[in-house]
Structure formats: structure tokens, C-alpha cells
Chains A and B, each alone.
Chain A
Amino acid sequence: MAGVELKNLSKAYGDVEVLHDINLSIADGEFVVFVGPSGCGKSTLLRMIAGLEKVTGGDLMIGDKRANDLSPRQRDIAMVFQSYALYPQMTVAENMGFSLSLEKRSKNEITKKVQEAADALKLGPFLERKPGQLSGGQRQRVAIGRAIVRNPQVFLLDEPLSNLDAALRSETRVEISELHQRMETTMVYVTHDQVEAMTMADRIVVLNGGYIEQVGSPMDLYNNPATEFVAGFIGSPKMNFVKGRYADAVGAATLGVRPEHFEIGQGDNTWEGKVTLVERLGHDTILYIRVPDAGVVTVSLDGQHNQQVGDTVHLRPKPEFIHKFNEQGRPIVA
């Protein structure tokens, strides 16, 4: 096992720099999630750690070794791909044991390790099948199994759940978290889904436009976003941003209120609006409310609320949870 250190790392394709001055220290055994919108550079950064993309500036350390110029095989890492990337002509067992066979390990050892990984991932009955005969979820588990058998220093996962349906995704999410707890290996996970990031990560790295916006624990990012972008990206449904008189009233250029941080009731300092859409999710009810001077505000209430489209409601942001941002999108600290 080993940590990963990125020092002033950058990546350019010709004259176009896509990652700028990335500094990050990932501790040994930590589960770090890179999250951000499409094109923010998160996959590129992961692929640089893997050795699939050249580092064009700065230093990449894996353990205490500078890995900039090491080939993927010299880095002792394993990677799970979004598309699974299983070898179609090989059986599940051969896929999982491929890296060990390249290392010329004995047949007995390979069989033993593959069997152990297959047991851990409930793949035992499928070992002699080809990838084409497996479901999406099973293929993803094979891809994870292929990474596990190597017992690598660092585990890299590139949007491994995005091809799975919703139910399987949450199931596999739990499996990966359990796997991390069992193996205690450093894991770097890329996703654009902030729910995955929040539920799995020890620390989240939010990337935007090739820069790191913020690094922190999930709750740290949720409670204390360092930028307006992070505030909007972390949390679901996303934070409401209001400009104009409501923001002016609290001395901010932009006022941020999470949908779950509104109360409904009469009184002073409430925002009056009309319900335009109601989404009932059972546990929660999401209201979309058109508030004059604030636009459409999303409000998340518990499932027992009974508002209908067209109802007039009065909203009150809970003062202890509001976020104030200046013109530059930075938080205003009281």
C-alpha cells in the first residue's frame, strides 16, 4: 500500500493546458473521490496517476517513488474502467488471473488468488464463463476482481458504476465501500455523481475547468463550500442561488440556500411564492416554487407535506444554514 502525492501537476495537449497546478496529497489507505462536471479533467488526472497519460508538468509520487516516467506496469496500480474492459476471449478466471500470469506466477497461486477474489465478489459460479455471457453488474464485479487479485498499492476506479442501472449502482456502491474497508488500500475514484462522492469518500476533490476547487470531507464540503461552484455541485437537489433584494438583505452578492434548509410558515422575513411543480418521492417531497425577485426556488420537505401546484406558500431560509457569497463566488465569512 502507498499514498499518492501530486505536486504542481499539470497536463497540456500541445499548447492547451487542461489541468493546472494540481497539488494533492492522498494518504495511504485513503478513499479519495474526484468529482466534477464533464470535461473538468478528473478522468485525465486519474489516467495520469495510472500512467495512461503523460505528465507534462510537476511531480507525481506513488509511495516514495517519483512515478512521472514509470510505465503503468511499474507503478503497481490497478484500474477499473467505466467500460469494464474485460478481455472478451478469456474466461472470467483468465481475465482475473491475467496480470498474475504475466508475472509468471505458478498456476496454483493464480487459481488460489482468483478463487479468493471470486468468493469475495460472489463470482464463484461464473469463473468459466466468458464476459459476453455475464450481466452488466457481473462484468463490473469481474473488472473489480481483476484489480483485487493483484493486491496493488493503489486502486483506481474510473466511473465504474455509470453503466449500471440505479438499483445495481447503489448495491455496487456499498460493495466497493466494504471492499475498501476490508482491503485498506488507497483508492482513487472518479465520478460525476455527487451522491457517489458523498457516500463513499473519505475526502472529496472537486475539480472544475482543470483546477481543484476544494478538497475536504463530504460534510466539510456540504457545510463549508469554498466556492459557489462547490456549493452548487455538492448536495442534491442542488443549492438555490438567489441574487437581488433577498441577497442584498443579508449583505451578499449571492445568497445560497439548500432546498432542505427552508421552513414553510407565516411571519416576517418570509419569501412568498407559488408552487409550480411537486415531486413526491415518498420520504421527501420536492417543491418548485416561483418566488418574485428570486426565480424558481427548490424546496425539499419531508414526505408528509401536502402542497399542491398553484398553492401560495411562505418560505423562510433557516438563518444558521444560509451561505453568503461575494461577487467572485467566494464565501463571505461573518
Chain B
Amino acid sequence: MGRWVLLFILGVIAVLMVSPLILTVFTSLKPTTELVNPPWYPPISPTFEHYARVWTDGGFSRYFLNTLIISVVDAIVMIFIASLAAYAMVFMEFRGKMILQVLFLIGLMIPVTAIVLPLFQIVRSFGLLNTHLGVIFADLALAVSIFVFMFSSFFMGVPKALHEAARIDGATEFQIYRRVVMPIATPAVVTTALLEFLWSWNDLLLRLLLMTQDEMRTLSVGLLNFQGTMTRDVTGLSSGTVIMAIPVVLLFLFFQRHFVRGMTAGAVK
């Protein structure tokens, strides 16, 4: 009996969670003539015309490419800088280590919205407005703290004797990082790559701020094109949203197991 009640509650929650996505897919596939039907009506004669329109006329092919470049570079570079910093924090002794740790902690505490203006000025002073590099630098700087902590907690679970054995074997710190520690840090690497990719893919604020030219826009900013002050292109917005969501959903499904393992890494030995 208790099990059925639990299943029912879980079912209701699942429907609530999934329904916006399903309604969006329904709307994106409906011909304009069917838009008068309530949103929960499935499309009677589904069409991909809105997708084609959004992809070509709406500029989504360009936005998709921009988003992909920024997100992929973000994810890859983040793995390197966060893991290298965490490696130094966990395995090396150096002057100012404490101060650095406190700085990373402060980095975790400051909300992005509080520093958008100075960030904008910094990026502009480097001449990086409307460039992929500008957004990438800002993304990395803002998120590096959390990933340093994630890698640190993972590395702390690596037996110290492994690091010492490698030193005795004659490895340099970088060789230990590359050949001993990183190969066993796959869960942390996958989690970092996925999370950073997702955050970068979905972020609106920084892209809105740092990418003002149309050809440099990303998907999240591109979606705003379908929403005017008075009107709203519902089918365009839905199709664009689905285009934006597909890679994320696929990635998560593909790496789900690694991802969950990485999130809990360090929780128990």
C-alpha cells in the first residue's frame, strides 16, 4: 500500500517536471492553424517548419555554433585550470596556500550579478567585447572556484602514498598530475566538463552583456528575439528552446552514471 502511495506521489512529481518540456515540444511541432487549441493538445499534423525557420531565418545556426564553441572551450579549459589548481592545493606545500584557499572561497560567495559592471569594464578594457574569448575568460573566472573545490575534494580521496610513490619513482609534479592522479579522476573530470558545459550553454546574463553584435550571439540570447514587448512568436520560441535543450539532454543521458558518481565523490571513502 505504502509503495503505491509513494509511486503515485513520484508519478505526480514526474509529470509536473516533464510537462513543460512536453508542452514545448507539442507547440514547436504544431502548424500555426493549430495554435488555437489548448497547449496540452498534441499536434494533429506535426510539422518541422518552425525548426527550419528558426535555424535559418532566426539565425540559430550561427548562434548554435557560437554557443558550442564557447561551451566546449569553457569545459575543456576549466578541466585543466581547476584540476591543476586543486592538485597544487592538495598535493603541494607552498607559501600563501592558505590565502589562495580563502580567495577561492570568496570566489564561491560572490554572486555574478554583483560584479557584472566591473566585469564588463574589464572585458571591454581588454578589447574582448563581442569575442568568444571575452565570454570564455569571464565564464572561467566566475566558475573556477567551485570546480577547484570539486577537484580538491576528489583529490583528497586519492591516497597520499600514491603521490609519494610517484615522487620516489622519479616523477615530476606535472608527471604525477598527468600520469598518476588525472587518470583516476575521471568522475571529477566528467562532472566538471558537464556542469561547466551546461552552465555555459544556458547562461544568459554574461552573453547578453558581452555579446552585443548579432553574429556573436548565443542560443540563450537568440531566444529573446522571439519575444517582443507586445507580441510573442510562440512556435519560434518553442522550437528554439527545443534546439537549445537537445544537446544538453543527450549529454546528460550519455554521461549520467559518471556525473552522479562525480557529484558524490568525496562524500564517503
Contact surface of A with B, Cβ cutoff 8 Å: 50-52, 71-73, 77-79, 81-83, 85-89, 98-99, 102-103, 146, 150
Contacts and interface: CB of A to CB of B under 8 A. Distances in A.
A156 to B, nearest CB: 8
Given A89-B184, A102-B170, A81 B175 contact: no
B57 interface: no
Contact of A83 (B159, B166, B180): B159
Task: Give the dominant DSSP class at A's interface.
Answer: loop
A6 to B, nearest CB: 19
B167 A81 contact: no
Contact of B165 (A85, A103, A150): A85
Nearest to B161: A85
A214 B127 CA distance: 72
A78 B170 CA distance: 10
Contact of A78 (B162, B168, B172, B180): B168
B265 to A, nearest CB: 15
Contacts of A73: 167-172
A77 B169 CA distance: 9
Task: Give the dominant DSSP class at B's interface.
Answer: helix
Given A50-B168, A51-B168, A85-B164, 11 more contacts: A50-B164, A52-B167, A73-B168, A83-B159, A87-B165, A88-B184, A89-B183, A98-B166, A98-B179, A146-B165, A150-B169
Contact of B162 (A52, A72, A87, A103): A87
A102 B164 contact: no
A146 B175 CA distance: 17
Contacts of A85: 159, 161-162, 164-165
6 contacts: A52-B164, A73-B171, A81-B161, A87-B180, A99-B169, A102-B170
A83 B161 contact: yes
A111 to B, nearest CB: 17
B184 A77 contact: no
Contacts of A102: 169-171, 175
B213 to A, nearest CB: 46
Contact of B169 (A51, A82, A83, A146): A146
Contact of B164 (A78, A81, A88, A89): A81
A191 B269 CA distance: 27
B167 A98 contact: no
A53 to B, nearest CB: 10
A79 B168 contact: yes
Interface in B163-193: 164-172, 175, 179-180, 183-184
